[in-house]
Structure formats: structure tokens, C-alpha cells
Amino acid sequence: MVELKDVQEARIRLLGVAHRTLTSYSATFSRLSGGEVYFKYENLQKTGSFKLRGAYNKIASLPVRDRERGVVAASAGNHAQGVAFASFSAGIPATIVMPEGAPLAKVQATQSYGAKVVLSGASYDDAYLKAKEIMEKEGATFVHAFDDPKVIAGQGTIALEMLEDVPELDMLVAPVGGGGLIAGLTVAAKAIKPNLKVIGVQAKGAPSSYQAFKEKKRVTLSSVSTIADGIAVKTPGELTSQIIFALVDDVVLVDDEEISQAILMVLERGKVMLEGAGAVGVAALLAGKLPVKGHKVGVVLSGGNIDVHTISIIIERGLVKAGRYVRIRTILDDKPGALQKLLELVAREKANIISINHDRIAPHVPIKQAEVELALETRDLAHVQKLMQVLSQAGYQILDH
């Protein structure tokens, strides 16, 4: 098992390497959740996530003879960058196996640190099997993403910093996938404050650690599907599961809609970018899935390496859900002035026109008529409802919106 002294030793190795990231009170999310909420901004860590801590602690602990043969790792992205950065710093060759669907930003960032990247399989677990093949063939040291005492101890340094910055914390909330972060966090935190509660948050589309915690035995999922790719793990670790079963107080689930809403709200309210895995703690707060009222709660924002295409989709979906963006289709007579009349009505209702598509040749459109699709910027759901009502009263049939 990992002990507090292992975490303290890891902290010494990480001095001058890992940032001591900010632990800061959030008035907005305290008000929304009913607790006193403090965020730990590991998304601002070097390489964009907490993973550097465990990876560096493992690699810095290697004997000279093992360093010469290099290291190999499997990762959905963040551990890859941590291993690549640590290996580069130590002058050690590194091969990283990542799932074929890993975000391009994470692949490119890993390569930028000089690591060789191999894309294999559809999930972390598939990449893990390929990495083990490479390890056996080349004799390299395998740096596990979570199920390793040195990695776990490195992640645990987060708890040391949080409890030094805010000694009054009585609850810690962290993402859980394979379990490395929450295992290290719990070992350190409970050694310092035994009565402190630790709660893990996992994506509903990849609930391996959740099911394991509830059944008190490791499970293997047949498949995983979630925007929180950093915690999309089919099988949690053996050592991490032992620690979680013994020390963690609870594990809860959030779905992708809740995660997306959290990403968007932190971006808009806090001006901070989070990836899916980094936002699950906030998602659980907003969804009322954590017993935070009356507690001082530390929430780990574990990473910010999100693909720009993903964030653009999340933003657009969020705007639609909030009634700040809407598309409407209707049929007009195909004659001069018909479109202008519609646009004047929209303008009077203070909706801003983003784009117009005017189609009079589509097979489903009657002859002498035209289908118009408008993309509009609106204020809120009430504004959208009022606009629909005005258009309907003016004789326009709204096909969908």
C-alpha cells in the first residue's frame, strides 16, 4: 500500500518540476451548490493536467540501468504528456501508446516533448495491451497510468497542497477513472485528517470504478463511451481499487450532458478551460449529487486538454439549450418582398440574424414557394418562445426550431 511518507518523498522529487497550482475559493459555485467550494486548478499544471506529478515521480525513481532502456506507457492523452515531459527532462527515450481516437491536441503535445507516439485500439485498455507488447519486445520500463505506487504517490501531492492552502477543508472531490488520482489523494488526505470525506466522480458512460466500489470487487466493462476520455477506463487498477475500497467514502456518476454543462459554465463564469474528466467534479456539484451543504469542499479540476472541435460543439449545444441560439424553418411565397417582410419581423423582436438559407428548388418545397432557414442569436428561452409566438400570429408555420 502507499503511505503518507511516499507522498512526502514524491513531493521532494517534484520540487522545481511541477507547479504548485492555485487552490482558490469560488463564490459562484459555492452559491450554486450550497457548499463552500474551493477549486484546485490542476488544469494549469505543466502539460495541462495533474498526470505530470505521478509520471515524473515514477521516472525520477528509476535505477540507472532501467533508464537506459527507456520507458513505455499507455494513455488516453494526459498521462502520455506527463511521461513524455518527464522522460525528456531525464534524457530517457519514451514510447507512448494512445487510442486511435485520442484528441489530436493531446497527440501533438505528446510528440512535442520528443516521445514516439503509437496509435492503437479504441480505448485506453486496448492501448495498454499494445504498450505491454512493446515493453516485452524492447525491454523498456512500463509506466502505468494509475496502478503503480510511485504514480499514486505523485498524484497524492495534490492533497498536501490543498490542505496546506485551506486546512479547514473537510471534503475532497476528484475524478476517478483507473483510480490513481483519488487513491493518492485519499492516502495523503486521510493520513492528515482522518475524518475528512473523499468522494470520487466518474462518467456514467464508463462506470468501472463506480461499479467496483459498489460491489467491492474489480469489474471489467465490455465498452466505454463518454466525452470524459481521460477517465474512460474499462478496468480500474488492482492497487488503486484496494485503496479506494478501504478509504474512499463514495463514488457518484455524472452523464455527458452534465459534464458538458459544467465545462460551459466554468468557461463562461470562471474563464477557465476544462476537459471532460477535469469537469466531472463540477458537474456533480451542479447536479446536486454531492452532500456539500455545510461543508468546505475542495474540488480537483484535473485537466484542461480538450479538443477545440469538442469545445465548439459543447458551446453551440449549450447556447441552444439556454435559448441563446436557435434555428427556425418556414415556408414563404416565392415573390419579391416576402423574405424582407419575415426579416423585418425578426428584427423588431430583437433577434440577431447569424445566417439565412433560402431554398426554392428542393423537391419537398411546393412550386412558387421557398423554404427559409434562419440561424438566430437570442437572449434566452423566453425570448425564443416570444419570437415563435409572434411569427405564428403573423401567419408563418414554423417547421422546426
pLDDT category at 401 given cuts 50, 70, 90 is low
**Across 148-158, average pLDDT:** 98
When mean pLDDT is compared over 161-170, 216-225, 363-372, the highest value belongs to 161-170
Q: Alpha carbon of 311 to those of 103, 131, 272: distances in Å?
A: 12, 29, 12
Average the pLDDT over 113-136 and give the result.
Answer: 90
Strands 94-98 and 369-377: unpaired
Do 101 and 193 lie in a common domain?
no
Report how far residue 204's alpha carbon sits from residue 209's, in angstroms, rounded to the nearest whole number.
Answer: 11
* pLDDT band at residue 101 using 50, 70 and 90 as cut-offs: confident
Helix boundaries (H) for 102-175: 104-112, 124-138, 149-165
Cα-based distances in Å from 325 to 6, 377, 382 = 51, 5, 12
Q: Any catalytic annotation for residue 302?
A: yes
- 40 as an active site residue: the answer is no
Q: Note the pLDDT tens digit of each residue in 210-267.
A: 999 999 999 999 999 999 988 999 999 999 999 999 999 999 999 999 999 999 999 9
In this structure, are 136 and 216 located in the same domain? no
Separation of alpha carbons 97 and 77, rounded Å: 9
Q: Which of 26, 33, 51, 234 is catalytic?
A: 51
The answer to whether residue 124 is domain-embedded is: yes
* 80 and 33 together in one domain: no
What three-state secondary structure class fits 260? helix
The CATH number covering residue 337 comes to 3.30.70.260
Q: Which of 49, 75, 87, 302 is catalytic?
A: 302
Q: Are residues 76 and 191 in the same domain?
A: no
Cα distance between residue 115 and residue 134, in whole Å: 14
**Parent domain of 173:** 4-49+148-317
Q: Is residue 400 part of a domain?
A: no
- Total number of domains in the chain: 3
Asked whether residue 252 falls in the same domain as residue 202, the answer is yes
Strand partners, 173: 199, 299
Shared domain check, 382 and 307:
no
Domain co-membership, 135 together with 152: no
C-alpha torsion angle, residues 228, 234, 236, 237 (rounded to 10): -110
